[in-house]
Copies of this chain bind each other. A is one copy, B any other.
């Protein structure tokens, strides 16, 4: 690399000064934009309009893409920027909306409200202006007072204690109060709730943890129990917070979660376990890592940075789950012979069969993960 002549250095400095001036204007415009968006939110809030307006967003994106083309910019680049700008504006709008209650004046009791997830719900419901009561394991002497006049009781305790707590609290609930749980299995708790409480019942499974700061596009599975009409406001409250509600029967939910939670977390656990057992040189390995490997290893490291007890509950929740995991371990052994023989043809045959089974999801996964890899490269 050559030494920079003074004239060139001066020109470079001047160009950078001009770029900074442009950037200043951009930030000022984004600040003006935010103020206009705040007006929109105020209007929407006053008229109970929903925050997310997909067709308006797509129109806006199309207009910006066309404008980018006209201005000689890459349309994908501008779309990417505007996706972030709109997401930010949606999160802020949802944040405002979080302050709104679907059933104003209602009283909510969170059983297990002193746990991490319990405190999380206490915050959300309080933020929306509900009267919120929190009940911990030491509050049983006051249970009658705590349950008096409530409109909703949410059970937020560990999987293994849910059925017992439901049974115990049932007799104290007002007949018209909604009883809901937020456990990650649904059949057992739902049955317990229906048995313990003759009023409205709904099972909820929020697919996110207490570190999630926005509910925007986060999924809540709802399994109907009894009197759906009376339960509707609870579900609508989650919608208002930005969540996507997936309706399901408890059986279907539990079957799918065997894979989505139990199997996946166990496979990740076992992979990390093997890396630790082999004492893989982690730091050096990362230096050799393409962004995608870094991401995959990150998924493993991420698991172990979380709560061991939570994952024990998820993995060991039901005998069915444990059977599935044993199947998984045994299924891997099928590959021992192929590896022993170095049988590439067999591998390719199997690979193609699985590819066919995945169908169009493979292409979609390629696209989504490539997008994320670009993000990783940008950021880290």
Measured in the bound complex, the distance between the Cα atoms of B306 and A81 in whole Å is 30
Chain A contributes a number of interface residues (CB within 8 A of B) equal to 164
Cβ-closest chain B residue relative to A344 = B312
Cβ-closest chain B residue relative to A252 = B284
* Contact A340-B326, Cβ < 8 Å, known A19-B36, A48-B2: yes
Query: Is B301's CB under 8 angstroms from A358's CB?
Result: yes
Q: Which residues of chain B come closer than 8 Å to A291, judged between CB atoms? A: 217
Q: Which residues of chain B come closer than 8 Å to A290, judged between CB atoms? A: 207-208, 218-219
**A350 interface contact, C-beta 8 A:** yes
Measured in the bound complex, the distance between the Cα atoms of B293 and A257 in whole Å is 11
Measured in the bound complex, the distance between the Cα atoms of B260 and A281 in whole Å is 11
> CB within 8 A of A33: which of B22, B216, B279, B344?
B22
Measured in the bound complex, the distance between the Cα atoms of B359 and A26 in whole Å is 41
**A227 interface contact, C-beta 8 A:** no
> CB within 8 A of A64: which of B23, B216, B332?
B23
Give a binary string over A1-30; 1 marks a CB under 8 Å from any B CB, 0 the rest: 110110010011001101110111111111
* Contact A354-B304, Cβ < 8 Å, known A84-B84, A219-B288: yes
Give a binary string over A355-367; 1 marks a CB under 8 Å from any B CB, 0 the rest: 1011101111110
Q: Which residues of chain B come closer than 8 Å to A347, judged between CB atoms? A: 308, 311-312, 315-316
Measured in the bound complex, the distance between the Cα atoms of B28 and A171 in whole Å is 66
**A123 interface contact, C-beta 8 A:** no
Which of A145-153, A173-181, A264-272 touches B?
Answer: A264-272
Cβ-closest chain B residue relative to A321 = B339
Give a binary string over A60-98; 1 marks a CB under 8 Å from any B CB, 0 the rest: 100110011001111001101111110110000000000
Task: Name 11 extra pairs, CB < 8 A, besides A83-B379, A305-B366, A333-B333.
Answer: A5-B47, A31-B68, A31-B71, A31-B73, A81-B81, A246-B288, A248-B288, A286-B361, A295-B369, A298-B369, A332-B332
- Tell me, rounded to whole Å, the shortest Cβ–Cβ distance linking A362 to chain B: 3
Q: Which residues of chain B come closer than 8 Å to A285, judged between CB atoms? A: 256, 259-260
Give a binary string over A216-252; 1 marks a CB under 8 Å from any B CB, 0 the rest: 1111010000000000000000000000001010001
> CB within 8 A of A357: which of B71, B276, B335?
B276
Q: Which residues of chain B come closer than 8 Å to A304, judged between CB atoms? A: 351, 354-355, 358, 362
Query: Is A23's CB under 8 angstroms from B325's CB?
Result: no
Query: Is A40's CB under 8 angstroms from B27's CB?
Result: no
Measured in the bound complex, the distance between the Cα atoms of B33 and A207 in whole Å is 42
**A143 interface contact, C-beta 8 A:** no
**A273 interface contact, C-beta 8 A:** yes
Query: Is B322's CB under 8 angstroms from A377's CB?
Result: no
Name 15 A/B residue pairs within 8 A (Cβ), A-sorted: A34-B72, A87-B377, A207-B288, A207-B290, A208-B290, A219-B289, A260-B293, A270-B331, A274-B328, A295-B299, A301-B361, A311-B351, A322-B342, A329-B339, A371-B379
> CB within 8 A of A272: which of B273, B322, B354, B379?
B354
Query: Is A350's CB under 8 angstroms from B273's CB?
Result: yes
**A375 interface contact, C-beta 8 A:** yes
Cβ-closest chain B residue relative to A309 = B348
Q: Which residues of chain B come closer than 8 Å to A316, judged between CB atoms? A: 339, 342, 344, 347
**A378 interface contact, C-beta 8 A:** yes
Measured in the bound complex, the distance between the Cα atoms of B125 and A310 in whole Å is 52
Closest 10 CB pairs of A and B: A305-B362, A301-B365, A31-B71, A298-B365, A308-B351, A276-B357, A304-B355, A207-B290, A87-B378, A312-B344
Query: Is B4's CB under 8 angstroms from A47's CB?
Result: yes
**A50 interface contact, C-beta 8 A:** yes
